[in-house]
């Protein structure tokens, strides 16, 4: 039988070697080559040490690293470091891999208080023990790239972070930067200001006659950028040296094209707000959710980014209450449409008759309408959505928006646009399109939510499982390409491992994930538990999920349909029997099924020992480690398990 997949399959680590002797001679043409040798008697100050630290990319240096950075011998470097230490500017520490490492005295108490080190040339910020205020300030202009590395919290300032900052002026942004960094970094501020300027070169406005105009800050930027990138599909004709008449319906494409060229477009069109619809939120937002809503209110658009369980849906209802207008919610499946409808009734003042669903099972257009992306993108249904003036369009699981199937739904125009995503990453690297088609990212770093107790950090363990029989092991050895991964993923030895883990946690509510339908059926028979897949009728899916929520059932076996198409109930235990070869986003979704305020959750990822699945599992979970989650690895010994 041919296996069916329930969905599509799917940093650089810098290695630094320490020189054991002096630096290589300068090469002709090198910007540091002055034609003169360094005088060993030249004054060496703490500023020189910081320059070397900047060049090496870390605040703790060996004498070899200083000699390389300053192009002096290692002996000269050691003498100068000793002199600074005698003056109290440096401290030294002996370690096992190098004779001595040196660091500024001001870093002596790093273990006791927050410290921030800025590397402006790399646009990186390393923070040790940041407090909540610092995190909140950094999140307004920088991206948390690594939350558990040896160098502490590593933030990177990317162009898109500056483009999406919620500040009205560069002076306001610079003030936030100085508060977060505790200092003024002129080089970094200069670069950020250049990106701020790029983000304000173009804007879309509404002409007094009702059509849309693309405006540029200068004739040069219009001629050298916009008129080089856009054609008759996007604009009718020039109106002036700095204005173009926009083709109706091409606004989203113009924003995407210019964004990719490095010039995000400010959208200042006078879009209709739709019919007024008073909405009261009947639940108190957490502080970070309120911040999300406030930032959305300032910009009029954005993408709420946070881990599963952080309350993005409730925050979206806070945005609905702010807009107070008719709302269209786009979701990947009819199951999510029903769950949205139920949640809106539960958490807002809206009544069921004000909420409609539009998908393969129901066709209702009401003040709040929840539709599937597929339906909203079809020509025969588009007029129903185009003819209504929506005050807000919400794109749930908006990481799908750049795909060709879902992109058409973004042509629907409204005054406010909001996306929701736990992990807006795509294996085709088109994630930047999410922010051009919907809005800039708005979120709180995962580690902060873990520390505050809003979301429980699950314990995640990769378990390397032996083959269940020689037949599959031999088949793997003779297979090629994707077939190797498929055989490893369906290793029958995983059945015993799932049984063992379930028996080791007898009181847990568990979700078991599989990627292959045939594998799911085999596990369903072996465990005597229902298998919830795309083949399961909608009414049956809902019954099984409701039983799990009501604690009438403590185990569910789920295919890829559970990754994003339905809102799975919270579990204490998640076992990923197969499926980590698909995407980083899938790993986030499955691990996230245990991320709720209650702690103690466990996630086990099974990978066949000695196969390509090992590498897949490690790589696809790396980004979760960078978000602050602890990841362990364990090699399974079947004999040891049987003796327990």
What pLDDT digit, counting tens, does each position of 197-245 carry?
999 999 999 999 989 999 999 999 999 999 999 999 999 999 999 999 9
Digit-coded pLDDT (tens) for 251-268: 888 988 998 899 999 888
- Shared domain for 574 and 531, answered yes or no, is yes
The domain boundary residue, chosen from 446, 480, 503: 446
CB–CB of 452/306 below 8 Å?
no
d(CA 110, CA 79): 26
In sequence order, the β-bridge partners of residue 348 are 281
Residues 437 and 488 in one domain: no
Provide the CA 400 distance to its chain's centre, in angstroms: 13
**578, 610: one domain:** yes
74: in domain: yes
Is the same domain home to 356 and 296?
A: yes
Note the residue count of the chain: 644
Instruction: Please indicate, yes or no, if residue 469 is contained in any of the structural domains.
Output: yes
| Coil vs helix vs strand at 358 | strand
* Residue 320, domain member (yes or no): yes
* Confidence grade of residue 149 (pLDDT, cut at 50, 70, 90): very low
Provide the domain limits for residue 157.
Answer: 115-198
pLDDT at 584: 44
- For residues 474 and 501, is the Cβ–Cβ distance under 8 A? no
In angstroms, the Cα distances linking 437 to 5, 251, 264, 368, 624 are 29, 9, 11, 22, 26
Which tokens go with 250? 């091409």
Give the Cβ contact number of residue 153 at 10 Å: 24
Is 631 inside a domain boundary? yes
CA-nearest of 252, 262, 239 to 204 is: 252
> Are 233 and 175 in the same domain?
no
| Sign of the CA dihedral with 279 first, then 283, 288, and 289 last | negative
Count of domains for the chain: 5
Query: N- to C-terminal Cα distance for the chain?
Result: 37
- Domain assignment present for residue 40? The answer is no
**What's the rounded Cα separation, in Å, for the pair 339 and 355?**
12
Both tokens of 3, joined, read 């296996």
Residue 380 burial by Cβ neighbours in a 10 Å radius (0-12, 13-18, 19+): exposed
**Residue 93 CB neighbour total at 10 angstroms:** 11
CA distance 512 to 43: 65
Domain boundary among 267, 301, 320: 267
Longest CA span, the chain: 84
Q: What pLDDT sits at residue 294?
A: 92
Whether the Cβ atoms of residue 418 and residue 297 lie closer than 8 Å to each other: no
Backbone angles phi, psi at 405, to 5 degrees: -70, -40
pTM above 0.85, yes or no: no
Q: How far apart are CA 468 and CA 611, in angstroms?
A: 14
DSSP state of 42: S
Tell me the average pLDDT of the chain: 79
Q: Is residue 93 part of a domain?
A: yes
Where does a domain end: 424, 446, 468?
446
My answer on whether 301 and 192 are in the same domain is no
Give the model confidence (pLDDT) of 431-473 as tens digits: 566 777 788 888 876 666 666 666 666 678 889 999 998 999 9
The stretch 299-322 carries a mean pLDDT of 89
What mean pLDDT do residues 89-107 have? 66
User: Using CA atoms, how far apart are residues 540 and 238, in angstroms rounded to an integer?
Assistant: 58
Name the nearest CA neighbour of 267 among 295, 237, 301, 297: 301
Same domain, residue pair 619 and 572: yes
Please compute Rg for the chain using Cα positions.
Answer: 28
Please give the pLDDT value at position 269: 85
Give burial (CB, 10 Å; 0-12/13-18/19+) of 622. middle
pLDDT band at 407 (very low <50, low <70, confident <90, very high): low
pLDDT band at 307, cuts 50/70/90? confident
Task: Provide the token pair at 341.
Answer: 């409808």
Task: Mark whether 493 and 600 lie in a shared domain.
Answer: yes
Residues 392 and 427 in one domain: yes
Q: Which residue is listed with tokens 């409730």?
A: 314
Q: How far is CA 355 from CA 277, 296, 326, in A?
A: 12, 23, 10
Q: What is the pLDDT of residues 526-575, one digit of tens each?
A: 999 999 887 888 888 888 888 888 889 999 998 876 554 455 566 778 89
Please report where in the chains the tokens 């980083």 appear, as a residue.
Answer: 584
pLDDT for the residue numbered 19: 33
Which tokens go with 375?
A: 């339906």
Nearest alpha carbon to residue 469 among 486, 491, 488, 484: 491
380 & 412 share domain: yes
- Residues 326, 250 within the same domain: no
- Domain assignment present for residue 16? The answer is no
Same domain, 637 and 590: yes
Nearest Cα neighbor of 57 from 156, 177, 186 is: 156
Residue 20 lies in a domain: no
């Amino acid at each position: 039988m041919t296996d069916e997949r329930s969905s599509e399959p799917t940093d650089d680590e810098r290695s630094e070697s320490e020189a054991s002797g002096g630096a290589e001679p300068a090469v002709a043409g090198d910007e540091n080559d002055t034609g003169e040798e360094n005088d060993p008697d030249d004054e060496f100050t703490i500023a020189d040490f910081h320059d070397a630290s900047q060049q090496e990319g870390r605040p703790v240096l060996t004498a070899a690293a200083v000699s390389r950075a300053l192009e002096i011998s290692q002996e000269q470097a050691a003498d100068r470091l000793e002199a600074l230490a005698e003056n109290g500017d440096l401290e030294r520490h002996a370690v096992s891999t190098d004779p001595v490492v040196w660091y500024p005295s001001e870093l002596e108490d790093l273990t006791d208080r927050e410290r921030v080190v800025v590397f402006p040339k790399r646009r990186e910020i390393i923070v040790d023990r940041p407090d909540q205020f610092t995190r909140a300030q950094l999140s307004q202009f920088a991206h948390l790239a690594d939350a558990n590395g040896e160098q502490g919290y590593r933030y990177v300032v990317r162009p898109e972070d500056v483009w999406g900052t919620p500040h009205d002026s560069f002076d306001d942004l610079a003030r936030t930067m100085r508060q977060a960094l505790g200092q003024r970094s002129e080089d970094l501020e200069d670069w950020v200001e250049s990106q701020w300027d790029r983000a304000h070169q173009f804007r879309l406005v509404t002409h007094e006659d009702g059509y849309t105009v693309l405006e540029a800050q200068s004739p040069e930027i219009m001629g050298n950028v916009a008129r080089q990138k856009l054609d008759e599909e996007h604009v009718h004709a020039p109106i002036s040296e700095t204005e173009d008449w926009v083709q109706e319906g091409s606004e989203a494409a113009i924003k995407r094209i210019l964004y990719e060229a490095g010039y995000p477009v400010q959208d200042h069109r006078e879009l209709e707000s739709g019919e007024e619809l008073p909405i009261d939120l009947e639940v108190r937002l957490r502080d970070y959710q309120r911040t999300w809503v406030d930032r959305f209110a300032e910009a009029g658009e954005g993408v709420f980014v946070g881990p599963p369980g952080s309350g993005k849906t409730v925050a979206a209802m806070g945005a609905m209450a702010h807009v107070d207008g008719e709302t269209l919610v786009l979701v990947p499946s009819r199951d999510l449409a029903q769950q949205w409808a139920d949640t809106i009734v539960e958490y807002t003042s809206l009544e069921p008759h004000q909420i409609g669903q539009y998908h393969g099972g129901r066709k209702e257009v009401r003040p709040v309408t929840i539709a599937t992306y597929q339906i909203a993108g079809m020509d025969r249904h588009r007029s129903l959505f185009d003819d209504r003036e929506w005050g807000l369009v919400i794109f749930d699981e908006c990481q799908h928006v750049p795909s060709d199937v879902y992109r058409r739904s973004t042509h629907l125009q409204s005054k406010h646009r909001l996306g929701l995503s736990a992990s807006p990453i795509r294996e085709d690297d088109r994630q930047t399109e999410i922010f051009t088609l919907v809005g800039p990212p708005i979120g709180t770093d995962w580690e902060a939510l873990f520390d505050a107790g809003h979301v429980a950090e699950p314990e995640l363990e990769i378990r390397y499982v032996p083959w269940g029989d020689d037949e599959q092991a031999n088949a793997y050895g003779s297979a090629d390409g994707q077939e190797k991964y498929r055989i490893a993923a369906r290793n029958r030895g995983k059945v015993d491992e799932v049984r063992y883990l379930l028996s080791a946690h007898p009181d847990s509510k568990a979700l078991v994930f599989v990627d292959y339908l045939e594998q799911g059926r085999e596990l369903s028979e072996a465990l005597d538990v229902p298998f919830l897949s795309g083949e399961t009728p909608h009414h049956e899916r809902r019954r099984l999920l409701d039983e799990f929520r009501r604690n009438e059932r403590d185990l569910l076996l789920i295919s890829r349909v559970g990754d994003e198409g339905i809102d799975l109930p919270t579990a204490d235990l998640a076992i990923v029997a197969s499926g980590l070869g698909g995407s980083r986003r899938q790993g986030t979704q499955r691990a996230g099924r245990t991320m709720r305020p209650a702690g103690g959750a466990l996630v086990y990822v099974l990978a066949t020992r000695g196969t390509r699945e090992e590498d897949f599992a490690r790589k696809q979970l790396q980004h979760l480690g960078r978000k602050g989650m602890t990841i362990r690895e364990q090699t399974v010994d079947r004999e040891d398990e049987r003796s327990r």
